[in-house]
Structure 1
Amino acid sequence: MRVRIKLLVASIFAVSLASAAVAGVVLAKSPARSGTVFVGPGQSIQAAVNHARPGTTIIVRGTHRESVVIRKDGLRLLGRHAVIRPPARPGPCGSVGLCVLGDVNPTTGQVAGYVSGVGIFGFTVRDFDEFGIFALGARDATFMHNRAVDNGEYGIAAFDSTGTRMISNTTSGSTGEAGLYVGDSPHANATVVGNDSHGNEFGILVRNATHGRIAGNDFHDNCLGALFLADEPGPAGAFRMVGNKVQNNSRSCPAHEEIPDISGVGVAILGAHDVSLAGNSITGNVASGPSIFKGGVVVVRGLGGTPPKDNSVVGNTIVRNGPDIFWDGSGSGNRFVGNRCNTSVPGGLCRR
């Protein structure tokens, strides 16, 4: 995954610089200024972005076949019945719909500086081969009231970012990866609230990322509802997951790349630390095909062997899963207390 991100960044830099140069010639008589800019059907979102000053609000209407990259602080893109679909030819982001890109080394993929305060609101982004909405090197980005539909890998994803807010979005059809993704972010401080993520491989994937809150979301009809994954390639944890519905994640996804067969898992903690599950409804997660593990809540070693540590599963409703709780017995400080559940492996984890 990391190698593919480096290649994507190199592609974005090469194409977006050329795009900016062309747009600069075409619109040289239209001086950039902050304020509000309107983009209608047949007009270029990318041209508006290239000529906007930091802090500008860009209101977009209609269907646009574009791939757009944003590298300026404080830009706000507001969709009004706006749809983004893949262009006939590769755009600035390749097979990605909307990109928020910081100061990133195109060779190594390392972030040298963040783009701050970008907001994307009210768009439908669909049918891209890789990402619907993608952030790399973003600080305090907000993605709200968007629909990411049938994108090949991730619906809405933040890499190497901090302070990301994913609020009241709908993500579906990301059958190759996750509807929502927070990764490669040691200081993620992410807020994931009120989203509906369904029909994906994973409803949400937290990988190599720490610190965040996941609340009031609906993760349903995926192969796996919520996955906290360490060892891929580093630690994951210090997330609080409260008040979510994690239901009927019973689709079957075959193994690919480093991901094994998976089906029938509500919440999985793989080698992660200090994950708190409280007040969640985790129901009806039953495997419909082969799976490396199964259960409403699964707490096991990471794929690289790291044991789960200091995780708490307290005060949840975990019923009609197969089983309700599965723990491989590894790690230390893991707590299962006060949950409403009936079946566990090993036995006894449902005692009050």
Structure 2
Amino acid sequence: MPSRRRRRVGALAVAAAALVSGVAAAPTAATAAGHHGARHTVQPGESVQAAVDAAKPGDVVVLAPGTYRESVQITTSDITLRGAGPGTVIAPPADAERRRAEHACAKGGNGICVIGTKDARVSGVTIRSLTVSGFAKGGLWASHTDGLTVRQVTAEKNGTWGIGQEASTRAEFRDNVARGNKDAGIMLTNIVGQEAAAHDSLRSVVADNTLTDNRLGIMLKRIRNVSAQTNEISANCAGIFVVSDESRPGSGDITIRSNDIRENNKYCAKTPRLPAIQGSGIVLTGSDATEIRGNVVKGHHSTTLLAGGIILAESYVGATNTNNVIEHNTVTDNTAADLVDRGNGSGNTFARNECASSKPGGLC
């Protein structure tokens, strides 16, 4: 894993240098025809939202390094919002009155929003190579989108999730950093604020991200048909958390593969729907046909209800885990145990895991 991180950091540094060079050569507020459409260049002090509003499908909005104090709402398909690396920062405006007078994204306390509707999804949007920090709610939020790509984004110190989406399909979240967010680093769900059947994400992917010091590293809530793979997850209250409720179908058809999940021992107090969380690696609460394979899950320690390496438990409304496969994982140095099955589900398989302890016994 460390060698993979060094290769990725080196690649990002080269990419950032190329982006900075490209931005420096472009005139302020320029629009230049290119292979994929026009390029709109924005400098600090200029409006990102104005450039986004002017963009047409196929256009690229390029942000020079610097801080942009505004929220940005995207409702046009097939556009790209691209910064020059972590030094391009989207941050809350200082003027609260101005924030309240802006679009729905700003009024909701979010940093960047990609917003469609049930009948008119926003598709093919790409957001990359920037930081979104310090917003009251989400850093980056997507609703009713298809084919959203989020890459090389740092989402930090936001009031709920770092990066999140609802009711969306075929998304790719890759090579991002989410740290210090009050809820999940990355969260995928069916719909926020409603009880409803799990949403089919049509193979959305959460891969190669670094998730640290959040409440949860990755939260998959009432969602199906998604994969979380090759992420580095540490120092959260829990690493990966899968949640269902009484609606059917529940969460499931999820692949959790080849993640490095270590020492998620931060303490998070209980909420109306979850007990206190600390020392949890991978937690399934009401999942069906999820595959957990090839992960490294180490160093989780707590006396809370959901403590351990890989934990199966009933959800807060009693939804059980069924037909899940937990195989070929390295799960060591975890308490209450490396493998924990607290639920009343059926058809769950534990096989060929490297582990030393389980509750009940016999799972290793």
Give the TM-score normalised by the residue count of structure 2.
0.83
The 1-side partners of 2:318 and 2:220 are apart by 17
Unaligned runs of 5+ in 1: 1-29, 104-110
1:59 to 59, 62, 70: 62
Aligned length: 311
Question: In the alignment, which residue of structure 2 is the partner of 1:86?
Answer: 92
Letter of the aligned partner of 1:253 in structure 2?
Answer: C
Distance 1:297 1:79 in 2: 37
Match of 1:196 among 210, 215, 227: 210
Shift of 1:149: 0.6
Give the whole-Å Cα distance in 1 for the aligned partners of 2:185 and 2:238. Answer: 11
Offset of residue 112 of structure 1: 2.3
- Secondary structure of 2:51's partner? helix
The percent of aligned pairs where both chains have the same amino acid is 32
DSSP-derived class of the 1:96 partner: coil
1:89-168 → structure 2 map (5 Å cutoff): 89=96, 90=99, 91-92=102-103, 93-94=105-106, 95-103=109-117, 111-168=118-175
CA contact (8 A) 1:296 1:319 kept: yes
Q: Does residue 1:218 correspond to 2:232, yes or no?
A: yes
Rounded Cα–Cα distance in structure 2 between residues aligned with 1:248 and 1:274: 26
Letter in 2 for 1:335: T
Q: Where in structure 2 are there 5+ consecutive unaligned residues? A: 1-29, 191-197
CA distance in 2, matches of 1:182, 1:328: 25
**Structure 1 runs, 4 residues or longer, greater than 3 Å off:** 30-34
Within 5 Å, which residues of 2 pair with 1:1-352? 34-61=37-64, 62-80=66-84, 81-88=87-94, 89=96, 90=99, 91-92=102-103, 93-94=105-106, 95-103=109-117, 111-175=118-182, 177-184=183-190, 186-188=199-201, 189-231=203-245, 235-287=250-302, 291-322=304-335, 323-350=337-364
TM-aligned CA deviation for residue 257 of structure 1: 3.6
Distance 1:79 1:274 in 2: 39
Query: What TM-score, normalized by structure 1, do the two folds share?
Result: 0.85
Given that 1:208 and 1:232 are in contact with CA atoms closer than 8 Å, whether structure 2 keeps it comes out as: no
**Structure-1 separation of matches of 2:343 and 2:89:** 48
Deviation at 1:329, TM superposition (A): 4.7
RMSD of Structure 2 on Structure 1 (CA): 1.7
- What is the distance in 1 between the residues matched to 2:180 and 2:327? 31
Match of 1:3?
none
